[in-house]
Chain A
Amino acid sequence: MSITHTTFSLPARVLHWAMAVLILAMLFIGVGMVATVSEKHSWLLAIHKPLGIAILLLAIVRLVVRLRNPPPPLPGDLPALQKLAAHLSHWLLYALMIAMPLIGWAMLSAGGYPVMLSHSLRLPAILPENALVFAWLRTAHGVLAYLLFLTFLAHMGAALYHGLIRRDGVLRSMANGRARDPSPLMPDGACVVNERLTD
Chain B
Amino acid sequence: MHDPQPLSHPPRNGLRWALIAGAVVVAGGAFAYVGGWLTPHRLTAQRLVDELQRNGGGVHPGYRRNHAKGVCVAGYFEGNGKASAYSTASVFAVGRTPVVGRFAIPGGNPYAPDGSVPIRSLALRFNLPNGQQWRTGMNSMPVFPVATPQAFYALQVAGEKDPATGKPDPARLAAFFAAHPETAAFRAWAKTARPSASFVTESYSGIDAFYFIDAKGQRHAVRWQMVADAANGTPAPAGDDNYLIPDLQHRLATGPQRWHLLVTLAHPGDPTDDATKAWPAERTTLDAGTLVLTSEQPQDSGPCRDINYDPTVLPAGIAISDDPLLSARSAAYADSYLRRTREEAHVPGTTAPTRTQPEAAR
- A residues bordering B, Cβ < 8 Å? 27-28, 31-42, 45, 111-114, 116, 119-120, 122, 124, 129-132, 134-136, 138-139, 149, 152-153, 156-157, 160-161, 164-168, 172, 178-180, 182, 189
Given known pairs A153-B24, A189-B1, the reply for A35 and B34 (CB within 8 Å) is: yes
Report the bound CA distance from A130 to B332 in whole Å: 21
Q: Which residues of B contact A153 (CB under 8 A)?
A: 24, 27-28
Q: Tell me the complex Cα distance, A135–B343, Å.
A: 9
Cβ-defined partner of B24 (8 Å) among A31, A39, A156: A156
Q: Quick one: which of A36, A135, A152 contacts B342, CB cutoff 8 A? A: A135
User: A4–B156 Cα gap in the complex (Å)?
Assistant: 66
> Which segment, of B71-79, B159-167, B241-249, B321-329, faces chain A?
B321-329
Q: Chain A residue with minimal CB distance to B319?
A: A119
| Residues of chain B lying within 8 A (CB to CB) of residue A37 | 43-45, 48, 149, 327-328, 331-332
B-chain residues with CB within 8 Å of residue A124 when the two chains form the complex: 131
Contact between chains at A165 and B10 (CB < 8 Å): yes
Whether B20 is near chain A, meaning CB under 8 Å from some CB there, is yes
Number of interface residues of B (CB under 8 A): 57
Question: What is the chain A residue whose CB lies nearest that of B100?
Answer: A112
Q: Name the residue on A nearest B27 (C-beta).
A: A153
- The reply to whether B44 and A135 form a contact with Cβ atoms under 8 Å apart is no
Known pairs A38-B327, A42-B330, A160-B23; list 6 more (Cβ under 8 Å): A34-B335, A111-B306, A114-B131, A122-B132, A138-B338, A157-B24
Q: Is B183 an interface residue (CB 8 A)?
A: no
Asked if B345 and A135 make an inter-chain contact with CB atoms under 8 angstroms apart, the answer reads yes
Residues of A with C-beta under 8 A to B313: 113-114
Residue in contact with A156 in the complex, picked from B23, B316, B327, B347, CB distance below 8 Å:
B23
**A-side contacts of B320, CB under 8 Å:** 42
Collect the chain A residues with CB atoms within 8 Å of residue B307's CB.
112
Assess the A122–B130 pair: CB atoms within 8 A: yes
A31 to B10, CA, bound (A): 39
Question: Out of A35, A112, A152, A156, which one reaches B45, CB within 8 Å?
Answer: A35
Kindly state whether residue B172 has any CB partner on chain A within 8 Å. no
Instruction: Identify the closest chain A residue to B343 (Cβ).
Output: A135
Q: Which of A39, A42, A156 is B27 in contact with, Cβ under 8 Å?
A: A156
B44 touches A35 (CB 8 A): yes
Tally inter-chain residue pairs, CB-CB below 8 A.
Answer: 138
Note all chain A residues with C-beta closer than 8 A to B27.
Answer: 152-153, 156
Do A35 and B149 touch across chains, with their CB atoms under 8 A apart?
no
> Within 8 Å of chain A (Cβ to Cβ): is B31?
yes
Is the beta-carbon distance between B326 and A42 smaller than 8 angstroms? yes
Listed residue (A35, A129, A138, A152) with the most chain B CB atoms within 10 angstroms of its CB: A35
Best-buried of A34, A37, A134, A178 by chain B (most CB within 10 Å): A37
- Chain B residues, Cβ within 8 Å of A179: 1
B252 to A: closest C-beta gap in Å: 24
**Are B132's CB and A41's CB within 8 A?**
no
Chain B 30-81 interface residues, beta-carbon cutoff 8 Å to A: 30-31, 34-36, 43-46, 48
Q: Are B31 and A131 closer than 8 Å at their CB atoms?
A: no
Contacting residues, chain A, for B276 (C-beta < 8 A): none
Within 8 Å by CB of B341, from A42, A114, A132, lies: A132
Q: Is the CB of A160 within 8 A of B20?
A: yes
**B327 pairs with A40, CB closer than 8 A:** yes
Contact partners of B103 in chain A: CB under 8 A: none
| A136 CA / B345 CA spacing, docked (Å) | 7
**Chain A residue at minimum C-beta to C-beta distance from B350:** A135
The interface stretch among B11-19, B115-123, B289-297 is B11-19
Given known pairs A41-B330, A132-B341, the reply for A165 and B44 (CB within 8 Å) is no
B34's nearest neighbour on chain A, judged by CB, is A32
- Given the complex of chains A and B, what is the CA–CA distance between A45 and B30 in angstroms? 19
Q: What 1/0 mask marks residues of chain B from 294 to 307 whose CB sits below 8 Å from any chain A CB?
A: 00000000000111
The reply to whether A164 and B20 contact each other, CB–CB distance below 8 Å, is: yes
* Bound CA span A123–B334, Å: 20
